[in-house]
Chain A
Amino acid sequence: MAQATKRENWSGQTGFLLAAIGSAVGLGNIWRFPGVAYENGGGAFLIPYLVALLTAGIPILFLDYALGHRYQGSAPTVFRRLFKGGEVLGWFQVAISFVIMCYYGVILAWAASFTIFSITEAWGDDPTAFFLGDYLQLADEPGLSLDVVGGLLLPLLLVWLAVLFVMVLGVQNGVEKANKFFLPLLVILFAILVVRALFLDGAMEGLNALFTPDFGQLTNTDVWLAAYSQIFFSLSIAFGIMITYSSYLKRKSDLTTTGLVAGFANSSFEILTGIGVFATLGFMAASSGVGVNEVEGITGPILSFVTFPQIISMMPGGPIFGVLFFGSLVLAGFTSMISISQVVVAAVQEKFPIGRAAASALIVGVCGTISILLFATTTGLYTLDTVDKYINEIGIISSAILMTLIVAWGLRKLPTLRAHLNRVSAFQVGMWWHWLIAVVVPAMLLFMLGSTGYSLLIDGYEGYPTWYLNLLGWGAVGFAIVFAVVFTLMPGRHDRAALDEAFDPDDLTDEDELEEVR
């Protein structure tokens, strides 16, 4: 058998841990969690949130880690080694990552631009008109325009070059080093921002609004659904990232303890963002002479690119605060972006006889072009909003349901995976994990999928035209399915079958020189 290049590894377990946290801590932690918590019971939301973390988030994280570490590969390789025909599920996860990668770059470009705009408060007196009008040149109606917004091109180009640079450097020199530098920097920047926010007038009123519990909400199924969704979308689970990342761990690596640290670190950062964002919103409410409950635009891009600029203009030292906030967005988004990119690059590299640099350049080139043509146009915001909604809430949830049901019920592999986790980990996983992965998680996910799918089919989304939702929303999900089938059927490297046959998932020998492929 020809000796191929040695498979890449993290330099150590802490490198993997930081990368896993960097992937989980993303834009959703900053612009989604605080608003979701506030709208779903405030302090009382912590109860379903914690239940969701312990019964779904961390168990699925363990499942992803076990799959990637035991079967040593990107998602298509892992599922192919797991069962015949499994490659298509792996490529479906890669397709989801590919779609997200295309629009995530655009959001990073916005955040990078606003970091610069903060210095001069370039949005002037009307941040809404600036963001939607001057900056995005947003069309009045959703549609498919090819009218590219010139001002978006330079930041977008810089974002893609940065992604390409990290990808080309590889797992240890690129992904790991970027996370080791950017993640601590993010925590420092955001901690400074939170401390500053806590000393603003009205900050305590903001925290009061966020943490005052509304226990009546605990009987509302939508609140529990929101908690499971928040945990699920925040942890970067079930679409190939953690499978790919854990495949680069050495054979004797602690998986469950690392998963516990990553899960709790992600949630700890969300609490920090909740404190920072609501202290700041409290200041805005106090300055405007209204209650916190009357402040609008408390989640998503509008929170970041309209509400925060308004607040920055109101406060003393606003430009510094703006640089801290948007700089944090860039860092949080970038560490997540490289994890998403790694899923696609690793899958392509493992399937085709192509080097890392070429695979990275190809994928960044294709994604970059799509990002310009679809998301950097005058209708880009509508497209991004639609694709994001469907690919997350239909695509990722479907992927997770398939993964858990196939592993738990189709293949009955949970005992093997649990034994694998316990063989290498200090924190031992009991039978409770089986029940959670086989029953609780699929039940919750099916409920989420049914609820969202029904709502999208009956009510549509944001009042967008049906043809538009069919083309770009359901179309994005359809694209992921077609992408998965096509890439599964495409002929790949000739040595894959032999490598799969020679691969022994039970072998935990750290013989790096024998771990060929790639």
Chain B
Amino acid sequence: MTGTAIAFLLLAIIVLWGGLALAIVYYRRSGAAGGQPVRDREGNVSIPHDT
């Protein structure tokens, strides 16, 4: 494989699978996957938004 092709393969993996990983983290932190959203010591939800 050429360097350019490898770069674009990595780009695809990083952007799309990275996007998926980020979305899953967001999904879990929001409490959507079950349980409560992650809160700080004061009980606030900083990221993501508290619903």
The one of A12, A211, A424, A427 in contact with B12, judged by C-beta atoms closer than 8 angstroms, is A211
Chain B CB within 10 Å — which of A43, A263, A265, A426 has the most? A426
Q: Which residue on A lies nearest to B37, using beta carbons?
A: A426
The one of A207, A261, A426 in contact with B9, judged by C-beta atoms closer than 8 angstroms, is A207
**Chain A residues whose CB sits within 8 angstroms of the CB of B27 once the complex forms:** 17, 254, 257-258, 260-261
Q: Does A493 sit at the interface, judged by CB under 8 A?
A: no
Q: How many residues of B contact A (CB 8 A)?
A: 31
Find out whether the CB atom of B11 lies under 8 angstroms from the CB atom of A264. no
Find out whether the CB atom of A212 lies under 8 angstroms from the CB atom of B32. no
How many whole Å from A17's CB to the nearest CB in chain B? Answer: 8
The one of A211, A254, A271, A274 in contact with B32, judged by C-beta atoms closer than 8 angstroms, is A254
Find out whether the CB atom of A424 lies under 8 angstroms from the CB atom of B51. yes
Find out whether the CB atom of A253 lies under 8 angstroms from the CB atom of B8. no
User: In the complex, A425 Cα to B30 Cα: how many Å?
Assistant: 8
**Chain A residues whose CB sits within 8 angstroms of the CB of B2 once the complex forms:** 208, 212
**Chain A residues whose CB sits within 8 angstroms of the CB of B34 once the complex forms:** 12-14
Q: Does A42 sit at the interface, judged by CB under 8 A?
A: yes
Q: Does A423 sit at the interface, judged by CB under 8 A?
A: yes
How many whole Å from A40's CB to the nearest CB in chain B? Answer: 14
Q: Which residue on B lies nearest to A262, using beta carbons?
A: B23
User: In the complex, A422 Cα to B12 Cα: how many Å?
Assistant: 30
Q: Which residue on B lies nearest to A204, using beta carbons?
A: B1
Given contacts A12-B34, A423-B51, A427-B26, contact A267 B4 (CB under 8 A): no
The one of A271, A426, A428 in contact with B17, judged by C-beta atoms closer than 8 angstroms, is A271
Q: How many residues of A contact B (CB 8 A)?
A: 39
Q: Does A152 sit at the interface, judged by CB under 8 A?
A: no
Q: Does B49 sit at the interface, judged by CB under 8 A?
A: yes
User: In the complex, A207 Cα to B12 Cα: how many Å?
Assistant: 12
**Chain A residues whose CB sits within 8 angstroms of the CB of B23 once the complex forms:** 257, 260-261, 263-264
Q: Which residue on B lies nearest to A424, using beta carbons?
A: B51
How many whole Å from B37's CB to the nearest CB in chain A? Answer: 7
Find out whether the CB atom of A46 lies under 8 angstroms from the CB atom of B49. no
User: In the complex, A46 Cα to B9 Cα: how many Å?
Assistant: 10
Find out whether the CB atom of B16 lies under 8 angstroms from the CB atom of A211. no
Interface contacts (Cβ under 8 Å), in number, total: 110
Find out whether the CB atom of A425 lies under 8 angstroms from the CB atom of B16. no
User: In the complex, A312 Cα to B37 Cα: how many Å?
Assistant: 48
How many whole Å from A507's CB to the nearest CB in chain B? Answer: 16
How many whole Å from B46's CB to the nearest CB in chain A? Answer: 11
Q: Which residue on A lies nearest to B20, using beta carbons?
A: A264
Q: Does A268 sit at the interface, judged by CB under 8 A?
A: yes
User: In the complex, A50 Cα to B8 Cα: how many Å?
Assistant: 13
User: In the complex, A400 Cα to B2 Cα: how many Å?
Assistant: 40
How many whole Å from A184's CB to the nearest CB in chain B? Answer: 14
Contacting A at CB under 8 A, from B1-51, are 1-2, 4-9, 11-13, 15-17, 19-20, 23-24, 26-27, 29-34, 37, 48-51
Contacting B at CB under 8 A, from A34-79, are 42-44, 46, 50
How many whole Å from B5's CB to the nearest CB in chain A? Answer: 4
Q: Which residue on A lies nearest to B19, using beta carbons?
A: A264
Q: Which residue on B lies nearest to A253, using beta carbons?
A: B32
How many whole Å from A132's CB to the nearest CB in chain B? Answer: 34
Find out whether the CB atom of B12 lies under 8 angstroms from the CB atom of A261. no
How many whole Å from A376's CB to the nearest CB in chain B? Answer: 37
Find out whether the CB atom of A213 lies under 8 angstroms from the CB atom of B48. no
Chain B CB within 10 Å — which of A13, A265, A268, A275 has the most? A268
**Chain A residues whose CB sits within 8 angstroms of the CB of B7 once the complex forms:** 43
Find out whether the CB atom of A264 lies under 8 angstroms from the CB atom of B16. yes
Q: Does A412 sit at the interface, judged by CB under 8 A?
A: no
Find out whether the CB atom of A43 lies under 8 angstroms from the CB atom of B4. yes
Given contacts A46-B8, A212-B5, A426-B51, contact A257 B26 (CB under 8 A): yes
**Chain A residues whose CB sits within 8 angstroms of the CB of B32 once the complex forms:** 13, 253-254, 257-258, 426
How many whole Å from B51's CB to the nearest CB in chain A? Answer: 6
| A binding-site residues for B, Cβ under 8 Å | 12-14, 17, 42-44, 46, 50, 204-205, 207-208, 210-213, 252-254, 257-258, 260-261, 263-265, 267-268, 271, 274-275, 422-428
Q: List 19 A-B contacts (CB under 8 A).
A: A42-B8, A43-B5, A43-B7, A43-B12, A46-B8, A50-B16, A205-B1, A207-B9, A211-B4, A211-B8, A252-B51, A260-B19, A261-B27, A263-B23, A423-B51, A425-B49, A425-B51, A426-B37, A427-B49
11 more contacts with CB within 8 A, not counting A205-B1, A427-B49, are A42-B8, A46-B12, A207-B5, A212-B5, A213-B4, A254-B27, A257-B48, A260-B19, A268-B19, A275-B9, A426-B32
| B binding-site residues for A, Cβ under 8 Å | 1-2, 4-9, 11-13, 15-17, 19-20, 23-24, 26-27, 29-34, 37, 48-51
